């Protein structure tokens, strides 16, 4: 069995918003997800979804199901941990915007919104069971490096990131 662990660092170039789905007293529309201590983090499922999407572009659907599972009898060979702040230093700001009707290209009435955006450096691990398939290893590394953004509102310049990968085992 060929299990490898990668330490991955995500450094934000621009703030991101991964919405928790809750509102902060009605003032902030999209509050970023936070752990039990109130610190922002990036969920492993968010990162795994980005890696899966990139891997599918490189390898196609069948090879992607082989590595990530098919939701049925084939289990996933990859485990992605949540990514937590490397240090307790991060910045949290409020971004304001106005929703736009993309068809008519005009702003919508009563559509001013606000969202919490986060900047910082996050660290997590990815564990993979390759079963001796080296082509999987090279393509997974490339799929991880292809992540250039996370969260919503990428069209407004949010969520640009840099990824560093260190092989542990």
The residue that leads in pLDDT, 38 or 8, is 8
Query: What pLDDT, on the 0 to 100 scale, is given for residue 36?
Result: 86
Query: What pLDDT, on the 0 to 100 scale, is given for residue 57?
Result: 95
Query: Residue 73 pLDDT > 60, yes or no?
Result: yes
Q: Is residue 71 part of a domain?
A: yes
Domain at 133, CATH number: 3.30.70
- Sequential DSSP letters for 24-64: BTTTBSBPBPB-TTS-BEE-HHHHHHHHHHHHHHHH-HHHH
Cα distances from 59 to residues 89, 138, 139, 140, in angstroms, run: 38, 11, 8, 10
Q: Is residue 84 part of a domain?
A: yes
Q: Is residue 75 part of a domain?
A: yes
Domain count, the chain: 1
Q: Is residue 156 part of a domain?
A: yes
- Domain with 149, as residue range(s), is 3-20+38-91+119-167
Cβ–Cβ < 8 Å for 150, 122: no
Q: Is residue 50 part of a domain?
A: yes
Query: Residue 125 pLDDT > 80, yes or no?
Result: yes
Quick: pLDDT tens for 45-63. 999 999 999 999 999 999 8
């Amino acid at each position: 069995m060929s299990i490898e662990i990668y330490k991955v660092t995500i450094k934000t170039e621009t703030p991101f918003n991964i919405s928790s789905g809750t509102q902060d007293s009605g003032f902030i529309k999209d509050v970023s997800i936070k752990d039990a201590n109130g610190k922002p983090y990036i969920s492993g499922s968010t990162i795994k979804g980005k890696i899966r999407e990139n891997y599918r572009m490189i390898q196609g659907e069948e090879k992607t199901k082989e590595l990530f599972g098919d939701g049925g009898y084939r289990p996933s060979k990859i485990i992605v941990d949540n990514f937590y702040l490397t240090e307790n230093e991060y910045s949290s700001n409020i971004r304001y915007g106005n929703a736009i009707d993309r068809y008519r290209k005009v702003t919508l009435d009563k559509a001013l919104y606000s969202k919490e955006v986060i900047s910082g450096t996050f660290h997590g691990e990815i564990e993979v069971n390759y079963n001796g398939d080296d082509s999987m290893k090279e393509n997974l590394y490339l799929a991880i490096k292809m992540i250039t953004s996370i969260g919503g509102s990428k069209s407004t310049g949010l969520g640009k990131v840099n990824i560093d990968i260190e092989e542990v085992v």
